[in-house]
A and B are shown apart, each in its own frame.
Chain A
Amino acid sequence: MVRVLFSSAVRASTNGEKEVELPFAGTVAELMQALAERYGATFESRLMERGELRRYINVYVDDKDIRFLQGAQTRVGDGSTVLLMPAVSGG
Chain B
Amino acid sequence: MKIAYDYERVKEQLTPAALATRPKTLWRYAELLPLDSPERAVDLAPGFTPMKRAENLGRLLGIRELYLKDDTMNPTYSFKDRPTAVAVSKAVEWALPAVGCASTGNLAGATAAAAAKARLPCYIFIPAGLDETKIFSALAYGAKVIGVQGTYDDANRIANLVADRYNWGLVNINIRPFYLEGSKTLGFETCEQLGWETPDRVLIPMGSGALLTAIQKSLEELVTLGLIRTHSVRICGSQPRGCAPIVSAFERGETRIEPVEAPETIAESLAIGDPASGPEAVEIIRRTGGFADAPLDGEIIEAQRLLARTEGILAEPAGGTVIATLKRRLDDGTIGPDERVVCYVTGNGLKAPHTFSGMLTELITVEANFEEALRVLEEVA
Contacts and interface: CB of A to CB of B under 8 A. Distances in A.
Interface of A: 7-8, 55, 58, 60, 63, 65, 67-68, 83, 85, 87-91
Given A65-B153, A65-B274, A91 B164 contact: no
B176 A88 contact: yes
B22 to A, nearest CB: 27
A91 B101 CA distance: 9
B276 A90 contact: yes
8 contacts: A8-B164, A8-B174, A60-B157, A68-B261, A89-B102, A89-B156, A90-B152, A91-B107
Chain B: number of interface residues, binned into ranges: 35 or more
Nearest to A88: B276
B56 interface: no
A8 B71 CA distance: 34
Interface string B154-179: 10110011011000000011101000
Given A8-B174, A60-B157, A89 B104 contact: no
Interface in B230-273: 256-259, 261, 272
B122 to A, nearest CB: 15
Contacts of B257: 55
Interface of B: 80, 83, 101-104, 106-107, 152-154, 156-157, 160-161, 163-164, 172-174, 176, 207-210, 256-259, 261, 272, 274-277, 279
Contact of A88 (B104, B107, B173): B173
Given A7-B160, A7-B161, A85-B160, A90 B101 contact: no
Contacts of A85: 157, 160-161
Contact of B104 (A7, A8, A67, A91): A91
Contact of B209 (A58, A60, A90): A90
Given A55-B256, A55-B279, A68-B261, A90 B210 contact: yes
Contacts of A89: 102, 152-153, 156, 172, 208, 272, 274-276
A58 B257 CA distance: 12
Nearest to A68: B261
Contacts of A67: 258-259
Interface centre among A65, A83, A88 (most CB of B within 10 A): A88
A65 B150 CA distance: 12
